[in-house]
Amino acid sequence: MDETGNDADPNTPDRESSEETDDDQPDRDNFGTDLDDVVLDDIDTGEDGATDEASRGLFDDLLSGEPIFENKEVLRPSYTPHKLPHREEQINNIATILVSALRGDTPSNILIYGKTGTGKTASAKFVSEELETTSQKYEVPCMVEYINCEVTDTQYRVLAQLANKFIEQNRTYIGDRIEELDTLRERATSNPDGDLLAETDFATVDEIDAEIERLEADRAEFEEVPMTGWPTDRVYSSFFDAVDYHERVVVIMLDEIDKLVEKSGDDTLYNLSRMNSELERSRVSIMGISNDLKFTDFLDPRVKSSLGEEEIVFPPYDATQLRDILDHRSDVAFKSDALTDDVIPLCAAFAAQEHGDARRALDLLRTAGELAERDQTDCVEEDHVRQAQEKIELDRVVEVVRTLPTQSKIVLFAIILLEKNGVHNINTGEVFNIYKRLCEEIDADVLTQRRVTDLISELDMLGIVNAVVVSKGRYGRTKEISLSVPIDETEAVLLSDSRLGDIEDVQPFVQARFDN
């Protein structure tokens, strides 16, 4: 008999017998099953022994194979390696400039240039870590603060983030100092006749108490800066006071510094570069990192002269250098014998085509490894690298299209509609006619045909379309436009935009190419 007093048929599932259970029975689900008695391992596998893969065993199967990776993190851009091949000269140049910080002097400001994936940030972080480690060894107060200006891209945010970092450090510094003074006071109090204070800055215990009281008051005065809401001059004042609280040399590393200038102008750089004339205890040096060799052209001449005291250029890697980098990282990232011989040369060759981008090479190798793991193969092969190349390229296209301004998305959507309906050698006039109809449909402003032509040129520069100027003889010249990206995936990204997604019937817009 079962728990309800009914005769239980051993061949009858619990679900059928549960219809006669008491509704008030505690801890039971809708089928009368006692939830405390459920054991996943006891699930009936059926006559053929097949389990419901959707309910259990999903991750067991995925974990059953041998892993290919030993430490995947070393293939990510955020990882700072212990050795940077083919960047010894640049690293030595940075170190030669920053070594003056270990002598208590102010290092020259540095601007580091180079294209994406040339090792700028990794080299700068490597030198910075060495600088901080050596400063602790020689007991010289020296620190490096890193700011990514692509994320922290306004003067307020930069100053607020720096201020809060130094406020936190000052609180730690004050706490350690109070702890030292408490220990000294206890020793002096327990031995009043001794001369423990003779070699200190205090003559009496009362002076120690006064210093502790002053430090506690200082700690209470430090107020964290909110991310919004304060006047900028108050934020700067808070940052200035926090930096100058005690003696130290500070290197402020501004990665993607051109993004800060592009978004907020050069006020931040002007204030930071002029700080040393007002600081009493500390010294500040700036290390700017940029992909744009010409961004200083837009700076105030005074900022440009003080910021670019030293300039270091990172050249692109060639295929051989990229292969060395991948060999070095793969030794740590993968299990032994996890790569076939042609994997690293192919990754290096693909990345060398992208202006020697080591970041691209590492992404390729990591993605190829992930694809191999999904296939549950024993090693990464050439085919996985080619699949990874296609996947990364598609991801790049999706991200570029997703972040386009609305007007550029409308222009691109017009080109897609024409191509999907078999129109070849698309010209600017055809795109403009459909663009106008799309703008009217979603209630967007209609730009001039000249401006739409400029947007097409921008899409061409991004590699999304291919626009070639052709001569039509006495009819003048026009642009012939074609897509350079997968049409279905690009259309899906555009339609995910809330405004373009409202367009239900696109056929009338395609007919508009014959208007006018």
H or E element in which residue 483 lies: strand 477-483
Q: Following CA atoms 205, 206, 211, 212 in sequence, which dihedral angle do they give, to the nearest 10 degrees?
A: 80
Rounded distance between C-alpha atoms, residue 409 and residue 388, angstroms: 27
- Which phi and psi angles does 89 have, rounded to 5°? -65, -45
Q: What is the reported pLDDT for 165?
A: 96
120 is in an annotated binding site: yes
492 annotated among ligand-binding-site residues: no
SS3 313: strand
Which residue do the tokens 């800055």 mark?
A: 201
The most confident of the ranges 5-9, 22-26, 79-83, 476-480 is 79-83
Report yes or no: 358 and 320 within 8 Å, Cβ to Cβ: no
Side chain identity at residue 455, one-letter code:
L
SS (H, E, C) 191-212: CCCCCCCCCCCCCCHHHHHHHH
Q: Residue 191: its pLDDT value, please?
A: 80
- What's residue 387's pLDDT? 92
217 is in an annotated binding site: no
Picking from 386, 412, 402, 388, the residue whose alpha carbon sits closest to that of residue 484 is 412
302 annotated binding-site participant = no
pLDDT for the residue numbered 278: 92
- What does each C-alpha distance from 45 to 8, 38, 41 come to in angstroms? 20, 15, 10
Q: What's the rounded mean pLDDT across residues 216-237?
A: 94
Tokens of 121: 């940030």
Q: What is the average pLDDT score of the chain?
A: 84
Q: Distance (Å, rounded) from C-alpha 214 to C-alpha 438? A: 68
CA distance 515 to 354: 42
User: What residues contact 137, with CB distance under 8 A and at least 6 apart?
Assistant: none
54's CB contacts (< 8 A; 6+ apart) are none
Measured in degrees and rounded to the nearest 5, phi and psi for residue 230 equal -95, 150
The tokens of 123 are what? 């080299």
Mind listing the pLDDT tens digit for each residue in 348-372?
999 898 778 899 899 999 999 999 9
Picking from 172, 166, 164, the residue whose alpha carbon sits closest to that of residue 225 is: 164
Q: Which two tokens stand for residue 155?
A: 């003067």
Rounded distance between C-alpha atoms, residue 230 and residue 212, angstroms: 31
DSSP state of 330: H
Give 378's pLDDT tier (boundaries 50, 70, 90): confident
- Nearest-CA neighbor of 343 among 402, 290, 293, 388? 388
> Measured between alpha carbons, how far is 98 from 301 in angstroms, rounded to an integer?
24
For the beta carbon of residue 355, count every other beta carbon within 10 angstroms. 13
- Estimate the share of the chain in helix, then strand, then coil, as percent rounded to the nearest 5: 55, 10, 35
- Confidence at residue 33, expressed as pLDDT on a 0 to 100 scale: 46
pLDDT at position 504: 60
Determine the distance from the C-alpha atom of residue 85 to the mean position of all C-alpha atoms in its chain, rounded to a whole number. 23
- How does pLDDT run across 152-210, given as a tens digit for each residue? 989 999 999 999 999 999 999 999 999 999 999 998 888 876 677 877 888 888 999 99
Residue ranges of alpha helices (H) inside 222-248 are 232-243
Closest by CA position to 72, among listed 393, 349, 325, 335:
335
Strands 110-114 and 310-314: parallel
317 is in an annotated binding site: yes
- Amino acid present at 364: L
Of residues 188 and 53, more confidently modeled = 188
- Give per-residue pLDDT as tens, 430-447: 899 999 999 988 888 999
Q: What pLDDT, on a 0 to 100 scale, did the predictor assign at position 148?
A: 95
Q: Which ranges in 375-477 belong to alpha helices (H)? A: 382-402, 406-420, 428-442, 449-461
Neighbours of 351 (CB within 10 A): 28
Residue 12 clears pLDDT 60, i.e. is over it: no
What confidence tens digit (pLDDT) does each residue in 483-500 have?
888 888 888 888 888 888
Q: What is the per-residue pLDDT across 112-125, written as a single tens digit (0 to 9) for each?
A: 999 989 999 999 99
Question: Would you give the end-to-end CA distance of the chain in angstroms?
Answer: 86
**Greater model confidence, 57 or 26:** 57
22-48: pLDDT as tens digits: 444 444 444 444 444 444 444 444 444
The tokens describing 429, both together, are: 């006039």
487 contact partners, CB below 8 Å, separation of at least 6: 416, 419, 420
Percent of the chain residues past pLDDT 90, beyond the cut:
51
The residue assigned the tokens 């050795």 is: 83
- Give 256-302 as a DSSP string: THHHHHHHHTTHHHHHHHTGGGT-SS-EEEEEEEES-TTGGGGS-HH
Residues in CB range of 402: below 8 A, 6 or more apart: 493, 496
Nearest to 94 by CA among 312, 317, 256: 312
Minimum mean pLDDT range among 206-220, 439-453, 474-488: 474-488
pTM for the predicted model, two decimal places: 0.70
Helix (H), strand (E) at residue 465 = strand 465-471
Q: Which domains does the chain have, with CATH numbers?
A: 86-311 (3.40.50.300), 317-397 (1.10.8.60), 403-501 (1.10.10.10)
389-428: pLDDT as tens digits: 888 888 888 888 999 999 999 999 999 999 888 887 888 8
64, burial (CB in 10 Å: exposed 0-12, middle 13-18, buried 19+): exposed
> Of 459, 461, 469, which Cα lies nearest the Cα of 425?
469
